[in-house]
Chains A and B, each alone.
Chain A
Amino acid sequence: MNRMAKVSVVAVACAASLALASCGSSNPGSTGSGAAAPTTGGAATSSGEQVTMELWHNGTGEKGPAVFEKAVSDFEAAHSNVKINITIVQNEDFDGKLQTAMAGGTTPDIFLQRGGGKLNDQVKADQVMDITSLIDPQVKSEIGGNWALETLDSKIYAVPMSLQPEGFWYSGNLFKDAGVDAKSITDMTSLSAAVDKLKASSKSAISLGGKDAWPAAHWFYQFALRQCSKDVIQGLVGAQNFDDPCWLAALQSLADFAKTEPFNSGFLTTAAQQGAGSSAGMVANYQAAMELMGAWEVGVIGGLTPDKKNLPDLGFFPFPKVDGGKGDQAAMMAGADAYSCSIKAPKECADFLNFLGAKAQQEGFSEAFSQIPANSTASGKVTDPALKAAADALAKSPYTVLWIDSALGQDTGNAVNAAVVALLAGSADPAAALAQMQKAF
């Protein structure tokens, strides 16, 4: 999901003619020119032939571009016939740009994959390569159960790079000052008690980036994870409705909690990740004690502290239990950052994905982005104590659910997020918000 802040776009055009052939070839899409020559960079390229590929990633900031450049140059060194051009696209701009590229028949060969409904849309539009049979057996076994997030109809479409379980990221110092013990927060009552103590210490208890909607919606997802049974929440995409009463219960739980005014004032117009005034920035600068967020938070906060280093006192605890909920109270919600190949990419693309999935690269990425690697053999590089706590909680989770907006796809997902914002803004009650969400299907 969303991660980086600064805009830093390096525009790389399709330079070599081979690249033109591979990224500008004919696509039976609606706007396609139809008559364009078939690609020479297609799956039939032999290993000796020169191949140029385009790579789009969202790793902005200082460490992101460097780790990708290193990965690419290492790969090129091992494959003398391959040249990879890197394009960095700012996270919030990524989906729109990719969509435009796909519409124009210029899909990059290798691109960031968010999974869920978005992957489903791309597969339906014949844009993503099925890499099931191309995955290196060792990588396959090392990534193990984490393939599930990139699998549709038993076919694998992407290699996951990092796992991003969600929970509360808090400042140990502010908790200590307010006399709150993070370990004591196990249910909603203890969370509310902690919020009261933190508010008394004149800092914001919980920061929330309502302007971007998805951070607000994640509160609803977490309440739904607790309120809804495993079958209901995992079956949501298939069911395509919010008929089960647990969804309303989740919205009600959120509305009840919001009534206690736990969020920073002005949370509706607070951005998630941009600048010191954002919800992540507030935690990074000790203006708010905690935030509910995915595991990318460690890196995001690290980029917003005054010295651009990870917050030394950052801690993690999972979302508390909700009384009477039908879901497993230890279940986690998580996403994954993954990389896919375009359906028109040469076969070297799958080699590159295997390369990314292997231990060495997973370690490098884990270090650079402060993330939990998808490849379990690389988990030794997770040193941040908060991140370790998140990884432990994920390991104990009986099942994992993908973000509801990612799972449902952009359109329905956005509508669900907007309904949650309306609920938190007080312009819709839980029933009205549910109706608004239901209408999105």
Chain B
Amino acid sequence: MSETSSAATAAPEVELDWSIESEGGSVVLPPSAYVRPRRNHVRRNLEIIILAGPAILLFLMFVIAPVIVALYYSFYKWKGFGPTNADNFVGLDNYKWTLTNPEFWGAVGHNGIIMVLSLVMQGPLAILVALLLNQKMRGRSLIRVLIFVPYVISEAIVGIGMFLMLQDEGALNKLLGLHVGWLSNPKVAMWTLMFILTWKYLGFAIILMLAGLQGIPEELSEAAAVDGATFWQIQWHIMLPLLKPTIKVWGFLSIIGAMQLFDLVYVIWGQYIATTAGVSTMAWFMAANGRLSGQLGRGSAIAIIVFILSLVVAMIYQRWVLNRDTEGALTEKEED
């Protein structure tokens, strides 16, 4: 564990002792040598329970418990109602069905493609726009708002709108006089999805990058300018390296988003044709083959597999990318 994090956990303790000394150490209630540590202890525990209790309870109820329940159902051929018993216990069959299903691996592959393309397409574009928007210029706030608007619109609304516009007989083809199967042609559909995703989430990336840029002290670029660095040199050698932690956090969020992608695909392509169109994702596969097929046991197994896959990806990123130098952005690197 890094020094910062251990210091952070130690901090409240120190503060707590101080406050108790200063208040409790008065004349009103002369605390005995034995009582004081115990009271402190009790009070600290009470504070932890009161402050963290509700969150932990909610986390247990709505995250941990469903995972355990899903694990339980994943061993049954369960249709969503009726008992689970020896008759419908199927052991690892649901897992076998999923892991030997080429459509599932197709969906995993699509998630991978979306993950990589999101990083490649949105990252550089977002950084570029953020660097420009970080300059003082006219209409800056308006541009910022406009760029952020798609991110605010609900996915379902974006999905329905895009679905209507991009149909074969839809507005886009009519407008361009083309006849492209934007949604139905498997060679095109993934790019359509990527375009929509980029349009929708670019604003979020830009806002994040802008926030990161604004945390960088102006003195640095001013000093560089005084030393004769050009605009692009300043961006490349000063701003970008200092923006690295933000980029990494955005990358993490983007990867998680790509792994979980469901709503846009489901709204635009529906329950059946995402596989045929080549845009199925793991979460879509789970919904289509779980609840919508009336096989909640199988759906649970898919959910567990997706959970593990996502966890592994998240942990790898956390361990190898995010953790390495989140500190050292504005201060000098100490170890690395």
When the two chains form their complex, are residues A418 and B270 in contact, meaning their CB atoms are under 8 A apart? no
**With A102-B80, A211-B269 given, is the CB distance from A121 to B294 under 8 Å?**
yes
> Nearest chain-B residue to A104 (Cβ)?
B81
Q: Is B281 in contact with chain A by the CB < 8 A criterion?
A: no
Q: How far is the CA of A29 from the CA of B188 in the complex (A)?
A: 46
Q: How far is the CA of A275 from the CA of B170 in the complex (A)?
A: 13
Chain A residue, CB-CB nearest to B84: A30
In Å, the complex CA distance between A258 and B265 comes to: 26
Q: Decide yes or no: A265 and B179 within 8 Å by CB, A212-B270, A415-B293, A422-B276 being known contacts.
A: yes
Q: Is the CB of B169 within 8 A of A264?
A: yes
The minimal Cβ–Cβ distance linking A107 to chain B, given in whole angstroms, is 8
How far is A271 from B293 in the complex, measured between Cα atoms in Å?
Answer: 19
Which of these, B82, B273, B275, B291, contacts A211 with CB under 8 Å? B273
- With the chains together, A270 CA to B167 CA distance in Å? 8
Pick from A142-150, A346-354, A406-414 the stretch touching chain B: A406-414
Q: Which of A76-84, A124-132, A300-308 contacts B (4 or more CB under 8 A)?
A: A124-132
Q: Is the CB of A211 within 8 A of B293?
A: no
Interface size on A, residues (CB 8 A): 40
Give per-residue flags for A108-133: 1 if the beta carbon is below 8 A from chain B beta carbons, else 0.
Answer: 00000000001001101111000000
Bound-state Cα–Cα, A124 to B168, Å? 44
**Chain B residues whose C-beta falls within 8 Å of the C-beta of A411 in the assembled complex:** 79, 293-295
Q: Are A212 and B272 neighbours in the complex by a CB distance under 8 Å?
A: yes
Q: Which residue of B lies closest to A287 (CB)?
A: B169
Contacts A121-B79, A410-B293, A414-B293; is A268 near B271 (CB within 8 Å)? Answer: no
* A312 interface hit (Cβ, 8 Å): no
Q: Out of A96, A100, A275, A421, name the residue touching B272 (CB < 8 Å).
A: A421
Chain B, residues 158-193, CB within 8 Å of chain A (1/0): the string is: 000001100111100000000101011010000000
Interchain CB contact under 8 A, A266 and B181: yes
CB distance from A333 to the nearest CB of B (A): 20
Do residues B181 and A100 form an inter-chain contact, with CB atoms below 8 A?
no
Given known pairs A96-B292, A211-B270, A410-B293, the reply for A30 and B78 (CB within 8 Å) is yes
- Point out the residues of chain A lying under 8 angstroms from B181, CB to CB: 266, 268-269
A21 CA / B296 CA spacing, docked (Å):
27
B228: chain A residues within 8 A (beta carbon):
none
Q: Is the CB of B79 within 8 A of A99?
A: yes
Interface residues of B in 284-315 (CB under 8 A from A): 288, 291-296
A28 touches B269 (CB 8 A): no
Are the C-beta atoms of B167 and A266 separated by less than 8 Å?
Answer: yes
Number of A-B contacts (CB under 8 A): 110
CB contacts (< 8 Å) of B277 on chain A: these are 268-269, 425
A67 at the interface (CB under 8 A from B): no
A277 at the interface (CB under 8 A from B): yes
Question: Cβ of A421: which chain B residues have Cβ within 8 Å of it?
Answer: 272-273, 276
CB distance from B31 to the nearest CB of A (A): 48
Q: Does A427 contact B (CB under 8 A)?
A: yes
- Interface size class on chain B is 20 to 34
Query: Smallest Cβ distance from B170 to chain A, in angstroms?
Result: 8
Bound complex: CA A102 to CA B272 (Å)? 25
B83 adjacent to chain A (CB < 8 Å): yes
Q: Which residue of A lies closest to B87 (CB)?
A: A124
Which chain B residues border A425 with CB–CB below 8 Å?
Answer: 184, 273, 276-277
Residues of A within 8 A of B170 (CB): 266, 277
Residues of B within 8 A of A410 (CB): 79, 293-294
A417 touches B272 (CB 8 A): yes
Contact residues of A between 404 and 441, Cβ < 8 Å to B: 409-411, 414-415, 417-418, 421-422, 425, 427
* A414 x B168 contact (CB < 8 A): no
Tell me, yes or no, whether A210 is within 8 Å of chain B by CB.
yes
Select the residue from B81, B271, B272, B295 with max chain A CB neighbours within 10 A.
Answer: B81
CA distance A271 to B295 in the complex (A): 24
> Is B79 a contact partner of A213 (Cβ separation < 8 A)?
no
B81 touches A269 (CB 8 A): no
A99 touching B273, Cβ below 8 Å: no
| Cβ distance A254 to chain B, nearest Cβ, rounded Å | 15
User: Which residue in chain A gives the minimum CB-CB distance to B97?
Assistant: A439
Of the candidates A29, A277, A417, A427, the one whose C-beta lies within 8 Å of that of B83 is A29
Contact among B82, B167, B275, B292 with A269 in the assembled complex (CB-CB below 8 Å): B167
| Chain B residue at minimal CB-CB distance from A125 | B82
Which 9 pairs, one residue from A and one from B, show the smallest C-beta to C-beta distance?
A266-B168, A125-B82, A102-B81, A410-B294, A213-B272, A99-B80, A30-B84, A425-B276, A268-B184
9 A–B pairs (Cβ distance < 8 Å), ordered by A: A100-B80, A102-B81, A125-B79, A125-B81, A212-B272, A269-B163, A269-B184, A421-B273, A427-B276
